[in-house]
Structure 1
Amino acid sequence: MHGTLLPLIHRRPHTALAEVSSALCCTSPAVGTAVAAALIQQIDSIIERDGLSGVIGYSPLRQSTGVSRSFRLIRLHHVMVTRGDWRGNVPVLRIAKSCGRVQQLPIELTDDDLQQVGSKAVIDSRPPSIHQYALYSHRLDRMTGLTRDANGREILGIGEVVVYTQQTVPAEYADRFDAADPPCRHCGAEYGSFRGLIIRSLGEWLSRLVSYEFWTPPSDEYRSIGGLMAEQPPLWGGRTIDHSTIGDPYRLRLVILCGDEEGDDFMAYIRMYVHGNGSASIDLWTTEAPREGGSGPAAFPRAVDIAHNKMDGPALALLRNI
């Protein structure tokens, strides 16, 4: 039933019900009920397996009625069950919540969300991380919404996402290439993964600078920051994002200190930068609302506390005013 109906649903969504009504509806309403029950069981197993119960739900689809219910569930089944591991969406959506991009979790998927992922051919052509993000990206905002244009290009916000393959991946990412969440280029910058790009994009528009330090060469701090950037993740127990800009000899590493775990209601992250000319910087950013009457780090006590609790002494010494 799934194999027969799914291509019709994707190819001609407005006429699919009429074309196959005899298969699901006219034969017996019990057939549609049985199909829906089987699909719900499989979708629920994915949600439980991948830890999505706190971030993604589908109550509007599950509780809908009528003939169209089975067709929507068939489409959702294909979107979720056949397209990889969904666990990487948990930190993405938790960070979106802590940045104020979504009002509450779990997000409850609707038929409108299913229409955003495109045709079956589009779904099957995308790497899992990109396909999965397309299901809910329109819920966030214009700058982090994902679409595919008429030429088949992936557009994130206002910039094209160039997705690398095993054959085209830059050498710096070749040893950790993941086809399910591949390296990519966006707006002139290269990222080690698509989800890394999304996490950075989610925070940067609403983040506030807490503390900033910059050094010109020669400096011991340049070597210290270079050493921190060379450490294998997780650094300070946080989630690491690396990217470098094409044509400019610098490296940037971002470490999420909070914002991607259940209960985090704001985001705080460290950004480290080293340039080929020997300059370096480190700064602390947060989406925490500033304390009234405060200024500088004193205006963001929770972000400062997180930094003190998670970072080690040598790293904190680089952020001298917190």
Structure 2
Amino acid sequence: MDLFTAPQAAARFQTQIEAAFEALAADEKEIAASYDLDELLRSHGASDESAASGDDLLELNVGGRPLTAARRHLTLAPGTVMASLFSGRWDGRFARDDDNRVFLDVDPGAFETILSEVRDGAAGVALLKREAASGLYNGGTCDWIQFLLSPPTPTPDVEAAHNQLVTRRPSVQAQWLPPHLSGLLGAMQTFVEEFAAKEAQLSRERAAKKALYYRTLRGIKVIAPFLRPSDGTESISSVRVAGANGQPTRVISTTQSTLQNTTTALCNRFDTYRGPVAAESADHFTEIVDCARRLRVLPAGTRVAPPTTTSDKMDDLLYECGVYGLLDGVPTDTLPSDAHGWSCDRLPQQVGKACGLVFVMEEDSLEDSGHVTAFHTDGQLRTLAGPHTSQSAPGTFIEMTGASVDIHGISQMLPGPLPRTHEQQGFIARRLEVYQLDVVVDKAALTSAIDDLIHQKGLTGVIAYEPLRSSSPRQLIRLREALANGGDWAGSVRLICLAMRCGRLESLPIQLDWRDVLSLDLESQAASMRQYSLFSRRLGRAMELTSWPNYWLGNHKLVLYYGVGDSASAADPGCSRTCQHHDPDNDQHLSGTFRSVVAAEMIGQGSHCVARVEYPSCSAAASRIRQLVTQWTPPWGCTMFNRGTTSRCVIISGENASDAFAAHIYMSTGIWPGAHIHLWSTEEPQGDGKGVTGSPRAAGAAWQRMGSDAWLIPTLNEAIRANRRETAGWADV
């Protein structure tokens, strides 16, 4: 074998070295072409932020509230989600409202709190974050502070684990070399070290570029919920919420993306039922919508605070959250501390992430020592581990009787003897015990119980609840309580039948939904009013019963009269519907029992006059009519109501399921000279449609009901005789 010459040896080494440098050049080219940050930003619709100026005034729509802010104030917290969002890079991707204002799907109150503090720069940001961490802010405000003033939250990335480079010093070794090759080995060692250093440098560049790329991508994903989709538009939906106690109407807005991500009930409230929100508190509805926002906007894995309110309104908020389907996924932590001076610094840590709580307070006063009051949600109780906590707090809470807490129809026992409490009122609690609630509801058993109650109460074919069978258990619990504790429903059945005959309802049974259950007035003392509140909204706005701050039937204020010790009055109290000038002698001033006043409002629709008779004051008929108008008991055993002090209506048909029409008799004395008596009916006119012959069934019902008083409407006897002749046939006359 021929020995290598110097050129041959050099060529051989040259081949290896060139191959190594070609690989190094390929790596440099691959790094330059990959993880292109500019392309990433372009693909997501980013703009050149250098064109933005701190002097820019941005017109914002924050959750429905217009707001103007300088860009410099919005970017005073560098490195945060808020600064990144308003850097100018994403101005072309913002969702915008109809007035071309930048729409920000954030709670406006929380955003204004943040904006007022960040104007103080780094010190204000640090202070705000410390206050949020210490519990000064709670609920959604705390969530928004922590999110908007924090860096984009990194997400776990498998590739990031490989970015930690471990380098070893390369070494060229030989067990034995000829003395003349020792210098060659040293030159090779130097070359290998320098080549390895270059490779390590490229690896660091690749890792740094990749880390920046993925950090930017994660940042884009964090702020993406505030941007319109890159391949489409983002529509804004708004509703108006009626303010309480004279407060102005509030506009609440959110994006279609939030509505698509939330419950069907809340989505329908924006997209299907576009009228103003009146059944829920404006503050509570704001909390509910903001909770839905945060469930979509905050990064996956972030714990979302539930809707909050003052302690005396927590029960209402729970019901409203149940209506919109937000209770299943959102825990109820603790009573808030801002309403009644709670000293709850350690309480949230003690109860942790409880899904529901009962607060049991022993009162601290000499005369009320030992009395216990509780604020609770529904569920089975179990004692939390840990010592009892002493607190001092004035407040108003739900009454608890004996050792049994009535949790919206579900009776649960608290451990230990608990004396009966007094009426709800403010007090100082000397001892506070906290119990955790497991919210477990057997819907099958609940619907079975409701089905049994509907049958027992004689409501089969009158009301049903198919839309509620798949709804929140709290709505079913509320319906069951209304049926179980609503008293005798026979009067309400008659009222529903009358509404059907008067055209107030299109068909039976009434299919109750969540809005009907939400309208329930379970606090009313009168069974008739509790029952009517369940279906009143189905009869039209003029017939709807509302109870805040006073009872109203449509646009008319109601005044109630309870008889002392009178069980009938307690079930269906005396009631008057005041006229505009509150004149009891006015014909428009209605009075009677609550149900009869409701019936009076119904019967005017679709009725026509069948017969009308006038009598002089000195006649026997006028005297009898005056007796019927002024007697205490209802004439002919029928439902009656008074119009003023000299007029009375008596319903003679329409209150039974078998009745095909509604009819009533109107009697009056004193408004005109003499006395008047009228027959009105919704019966479809027959023949020429005139008089009693045009409404023979109404005439027959009046004749049968009035009995010996039928002579007051002489044409009734003529109609009955004519009907008998027609039935018998002319041959027999």
Q: Give TM-score, length-normalised by structure 2.
A: 0.36
CA distance in 2, matches of 1:6, 1:85: 27
Matched-pair contact (CA < 8 Å) for 2:558–2:577: yes
CA distance in 1, matches of 2:681, 2:671: 27
Larger Rg: 2
**1:204 aligned onto 2:611:** no
Matched-pair contact (CA < 8 Å) for 1:143–1:157: yes
**1:219 aligned onto 2:610:** no
> What residue is the counterpart of 1:260 in the other structure?
655
User: Which one of the candidate residues 50, 53, 72 is aligned to 2:457?
Assistant: 50
CA distance in 2, matches of 1:250, 1:177: 25
**1:281 aligned onto 2:681:** no
CA distance in 1, matches of 2:600, 2:550: 21
How much has 1:69 moved relative to structure 2? 3.8
Residue 192 of structure 1 aligns to a residue whose secondary structure is strand
CA distance in 1, matches of 2:632, 2:642: 15
CA distance in 2, matches of 1:59, 1:209: 39
Matched-pair contact (CA < 8 Å) for 2:652–2:665: yes
Question: Quick one: which amino acid aligns to residue 220 of structure 1?
Answer: A
How much has 1:273 moved relative to structure 2? 2.6
Q: Give TM-score, length-normalised by structure 1.
A: 0.78
> What residue is the counterpart of 2:699 in the other structure?
304
> What residue is the counterpart of 1:16 in the other structure?
327
Question: Quick one: which amino acid aligns to residue 114 of structure 1?
Answer: V
Residue 222 of structure 1 aligns to a residue whose secondary structure is helix
CA distance in 1, matches of 2:693, 2:527: 42
Question: Quick one: which amino acid aligns to residue 204 of structure 1?
Answer: G
Residue 600 of structure 2 aligns to a residue whose secondary structure is helix
Matched-pair contact (CA < 8 Å) for 2:441–2:473: no
> Which deviations, in whole Å up to 9, do the C-alpha atoms of 1:118-169 show, x marking residues without a partner?
xxxx5214522122212111111232122234xx1222122111222347xx
Matched-pair contact (CA < 8 Å) for 2:669–2:676: yes
CA distance in 1, matches of 2:316, 2:617: 61
Residue 532 of structure 2 aligns to a residue whose secondary structure is helix
> What residue is the counterpart of 1:250 in the other structure?
646
How much has 1:109 moved relative to structure 2? 0.9
- Which is worse superposed, 32-41 or 205-214? 32-41
Equivalent positions of 1:72-83 (< 5 A) are 72-83=475-486
Matched-pair contact (CA < 8 Å) for 1:163–1:185: yes
How much has 1:251 moved relative to structure 2? 4.2
- Which is worse superposed, 8-17 or 265-274? 8-17
**1:321 aligned onto 2:715:** yes
CA distance in 1, matches of 2:518, 2:573: 24
How much has 1:195 moved relative to structure 2? 0.3
Question: Quick one: which amino acid aligns to residue 181 of structure 1?
Answer: D
> What residue is the counterpart of 1:181 in the other structure?
572
Question: Quick one: which amino acid aligns to residue 617 of structure 2?
Answer: P
CA distance in 1, matches of 2:457, 2:559: 27
**1:124 aligned onto 2:433:** no
Residue 508 of structure 2 aligns to a residue whose secondary structure is coil
**1:146 aligned onto 2:545:** yes
Tell me how many residue pairs correspond in the alignment: 291
How much has 1:232 moved relative to structure 2? 7.2
> Which deviations, in whole Å up to 9, do the C-alpha atoms of 1:184-237 show, x marking residues without a partner?
11133252210010111111232111111122322211222234456675644x
- Which is worse superposed, 103-112 or 220-229? 220-229
Residue 123 of structure 1 aligns to a residue whose secondary structure is coil
How much has 1:178 moved relative to structure 2? 0.6
> What residue is the counterpart of 1:194 in the other structure?
594
How much has 1:59 moved relative to structure 2? 2.2
CA distance in 2, matches of 1:51, 1:35: 25
How much has 1:99 moved relative to structure 2? 1.0
CA distance in 2, matches of 1:196, 1:60: 30
CA distance in 1, matches of 2:710, 2:550: 42
Residue 570 of structure 2 aligns to a residue whose secondary structure is coil
CA distance in 1, matches of 2:503, 2:576: 26
> Which deviations, in whole Å up to 9, do the C-alpha atoms of 1:35-65 show, x marking residues without a partner?
2233223323332222111211112223x2x
CA distance in 2, matches of 1:212, 1:282: 6
CA distance in 1, matches of 2:544, 2:317: 27
CA distance in 1, matches of 2:478, 2:317: 10
Matched-pair contact (CA < 8 Å) for 1:222–1:278: no
> Which deviations, in whole Å up to 9, do the C-alpha atoms of 1:230-284 show, x marking residues without a partner?
6675644x52213252xxx4242x3322211122121112222333998322111
Residue 41 of structure 1 aligns to a residue whose secondary structure is helix
Matched-pair contact (CA < 8 Å) for 1:233–1:240: no
> What residue is the counterpart of 1:40 in the other structure?
447
Matched-pair contact (CA < 8 Å) for 2:647–2:666: no
CA distance in 2, matches of 1:99, 1:141: 12
Equivalent positions of 1:95-106 (< 5 A) are 95-106=498-509
CA distance in 1, matches of 2:631, 2:577: 25
Q: Which runs of 5+ in 1 are unaligned?
A: 26-30, 168-173
Q: CA 1:69 to 1:98, structure 2 compared with 1: closer, same or farther past 3 Å?
A: same
CA distance in 2, matches of 1:76, 1:176: 24
CA distance in 1, matches of 2:603, 2:550: 24
Q: Which runs of 5+ in 2 are unaligned?
A: 1-313, 333-353, 357-377, 380-437, 580-588, 717-733
Question: Quick one: which amino acid aligns to residue 163 of structure 1?
Answer: L
Matched-pair contact (CA < 8 Å) for 2:503–2:605: no
CA distance in 2, matches of 1:82, 1:212: 44
Matched-pair contact (CA < 8 Å) for 1:42–1:81: no
Q: CA 1:302 to 1:147, structure 2 compared with 1: closer, same or farther past 3 Å?
A: same
